[in-house]
Amino acid sequence: MKALIKVGYACNDHCGFCHTLEFRDVQGSSEEVSRKIRRAKELGHTMVVLSGGEPTIRPELVDWASEVAALDMDFGLVTNGRMLAYPELVEKLLERRLRYVYLSLHGGTAKVHDLLVRSRAFEETHGALKNLSGRGLDLTANCVVTTQNVDHLRGLVDAVLAYPDVTLKFSMVEPKGGGDKLFARLMPRVTQVADAVCDAIAYGVERRGEARGPHFTHGALPLCLMPGLERDFDDLKTDGFASMIEVGEPDYFPVDDANKLQPAESCAGCCLSGACPGLYRGYFESFGISELHAQHGRPRSNSFNYRFLRLVARDLPEAHCPLRDGSLGVTPWDRGRQLFALNRGRLASYRADTRDFSDAEIAEIKHDLGQVYVDVSTKNAPDDFARDLVKLDRAPLCDDCSEREACSGIFVPRLEDVFGADDARLRALLRGLEGDVLDLGCGESPYAEELEPAAREGRLRYVGVDPSREQLTRLAERMPWAELYRGTAEQLPAEIAGRDFDHVLLLRSYNHLVRPDQALRACLSRSRPGGSLLLVDNVAFGLARTDAQTRRAEGSTAQLEHYRNDGAAQAHARLAAFGLELLERHDICAKSSNQWLLHYRVPDKTAVS
């Protein structure tokens, strides 16, 4: 877990797009940087990375590296690399646990690179690559793409092919500092950048062939514009940075994406939204959303892991908050991705580094919906939530805290079965059904025992539809009273053509629908007037897990099956077009499980067409 320290903003390059172009005179004192190094250790970081400006021009550089190593942390640099062209400096830093270098290289020739950095720097920066390659480092060469170099990316690929352990990253220029001041001169259209980066990466992969060669990534480009390269996205979070601190700031703050957005007009419902950086706000304000296009029809995860990091405290008094007393602090922690769980005086720290969900989604799941659980099972994935999961609630000591809406909070276990409580109403509704019942996506049919008595007495005729032949085979043994057919909700099986039903069930299958509008239209066209539609499903949730549990889960070969993680509100909005009468609605809240319910009556005439 990396901590990023800005040591000052002076630099021996003069990049036009520099974030701190107007603050070159601001420098942190040597003692300030040392204090921040010690604070990083207190917060549990395993690596300190110095940035600027340019950290390598500071005379204290080697001393700072020594301080980091003495605290048993690794050392890293974000740098233009020019000073690292000197082998003796590189050797001193390697001796002091230099493990990570993020190097700026904006062109494959002096003409292109020097134009971007406005200095005669190429030979030194490229020389740093020679000195650093092959030394066992996590080594990235980052190219900021502007109007000046967007047509010269293949040349940069050629320049790094000789260094097989280098990651070459292409980053969209950010409208901040010089990038904002010189926006009109520097900012290409995002589609132009995406096309050029896709071309450069394809060229690089072809050039390296089967040989070991550079790895290629991209940053700050919407994933809908990077087909086939979605998993090659890279940013501070994917690089393991948890928090950072600028010159003069009193404490660390979490790495965030507040400078980017995913406009709802173009991005709502996109299956890539979890990992996607979206657009820089400044770009959106100038050019809008016309270049973006939401992607649908791909599955996405319905849960994420909070991986255990360390035990922060033992024998903690019940009413004591270490976040407020200064020992941990409120500001260093990501409100969504960081989790502190308190149980019997022991405070444990967890972190979610997933890219399946955005920062905003994780914060909503954790704080607004309250859907975070401790996994107490030994399974790759929990399948009996009541037995496998223990719900975590915001601790009572957070209730009246003035920092509540900004803080990551402290969470405590609730030792009661929230899933059973929410399931009770569903089971009661199912026990009351009579007539012809169509169960779409019947899957494992966890509620079969509620339907069986009426079916055996002839009061209920059950038809189950599922795409899995294996599931249907298993169900046939358990449910000899059921009619079971292979098919999907979107394309109902021919065996039930022409049949109408009194009740249609979508029990934990709604979010599995590939095309929900088509599926709802198909099933409602089979619904008799006065009948019912019953939907039950789950929203996404976070799982606090040990390191071993996390590795086991992430190494699982289980296939993703959810195409969205809609709650009752989103599903109800979709169903508004069908003219149904809402009988009952149960939304997710912080005190409930992650299961929601919608129950409708089909009127004499519906809007189905």
Axis crossing angle, helix 122-132 with helix 110-117, rounded to the nearest 10? 110
Question: If we measure between CA atoms, which residue out of 599, 604, 609 comes closest to residue 578?
Answer: 609
Helix-strand-coil split of the chain, %, nearest 5: 30, 25, 45
Which residues 6+ apart lie within 8 Å of 527 measured at CB?
500, 501, 502, 504, 533, 602, 606
Helix segments in 307-417, DSSP class H:
359-363, 385-388
Phi, psi of 312 (to 5 degrees): -85, -40
Residue that the structure tokens 């019947």 belong to: 442
Nearest alpha carbon to residue 158 among 213, 81, 229, 83: 213
Contact between 375 and 544 (Cβ < 8 Å): yes
> Phi then psi for 499, rounded to 5 degrees?
-90, 140
Burial class (CB in 10 A: 0-12, 13-18, 19+), 472: buried
Rounded to an integer, what distance in angstroms lies between the CA atom of residue 81 and that of residue 140?
A: 11
Put residue 462 in one of left, alpha, beta given phi > 0 → left and psi -120 to 50 → alpha. Answer: beta
Residue that is written with structure tokens 């991005």 in the block: 267
Q: What pLDDT is stored for residue 264 in this prediction?
A: 87
**Torsions phi, psi for 262 (to 5 deg):** -115, 100
Kindly give, in sequence order, each residue whose CB lies less than 8 Å from that of residue 157, ignoring residues fewer than 6 positions away: 108, 168, 200, 203, 204, 207, 214, 216
Which positions of the chain have pLDDT values less than 70?
A: 605-609
H or E segment and range at residue 507 = strand 501-507
Residue linked to tokens 């060469």: 141
- Supply the Cα-derived Rg of the chain in whole angstroms: 28
**Residue type present at position 545:** R
One-letter identity of residue 326: G
Write down the pLDDT at residue 139.
Answer: 97
208, HSE (Cβ side, Cα atoms, 13 Å): 23
Q: How far apart are CA 207 and CA 203, in angstroms?
A: 6
Residue identified by tokens 């000591």 is: 397
CA 228 to chain CA centroid, nearest Å? 18
Instruction: Please give the pLDDT value at position 21.
Output: 78
Listed in sequence order, the residues at least 6 apart from 31 whose beta carbon sits closer than 8 Å to its beta carbon are: none
Cis peptide before 53 (omega within 30 of 0): yes
Report yes or no: 409 and 363 within 8 Å, Cβ to Cβ: no
Q: What is the H or E stretch that residue 112 is in?
A: helix 110-117
Give Cα separations from 47 to 5, 100, 160, 191, 474 (angstroms): 11, 9, 26, 36, 51
Specify the pLDDT at position 605.
64
CATH 3.40.50.300 fits 419-539+557-601, yes or no: no
Structure tokens at 417: 């079965």
pLDDT value, residue 524: 92
Query: Three-state SS string across 550-561, please?
Result: HHHHHCCCCCCC
- Dist CA 46 CA 75 (whole Å): 9
Alpha helices (H) along 118-226: 122-132, 153-160, 178-181, 183-186, 190-208
Amino acid letter for position 53: G
Going along 508-549, which residue ranges are E strands?
A: 527-538, 541-545
Whether the link from the prior residue into 204 is cis, omega within 30° of 0, is: no
In the structure encoding, which two tokens stand for residue 133, read together?
A: 């390659």
Burial (CB < 10 A; 0-12, 13-18, 19+), residue 435, is: middle
For the chain, the residue count is 609
User: What are the residue boundaries of the structural domains of the chain, listed by start?
Assistant: 2-287, 303-417, 419-539+557-601
Which pLDDT does position 210 carry in this prediction? Answer: 81
The closest alpha carbon to 578, from 519, 536, 538, belongs to 519
Q: Is CATH 3.90.105.10 correct for 2-287? A: no
| CA gap 82, 102 in Å, rounded | 12
pLDDT of residue 543: 96
pLDDT in tens, 498-557: 899 999 999 999 999 999 999 999 989 999 999 999 999 999 999 999 999 988 888 877
Q: Are both 2-287 and 419-539+557-601 of the same fold?
A: no
Strand order in the sheet with 2-6: 215-219, 166-172, 138-145, 98-104, 74-79, 47-51, 2-6, 241-245, 253-254
Across the strands, what pairs with 349? 310, 340
Query: Which residue, among 373, 371, 505, has the nearest Cα to 427 in the 3D structure?
Result: 505
Opening angle at CA 444, ends 440 and 448, nearest 5:
80
CA 11 to chain centre: 33
Strands 410-414 and 253-254: unpaired
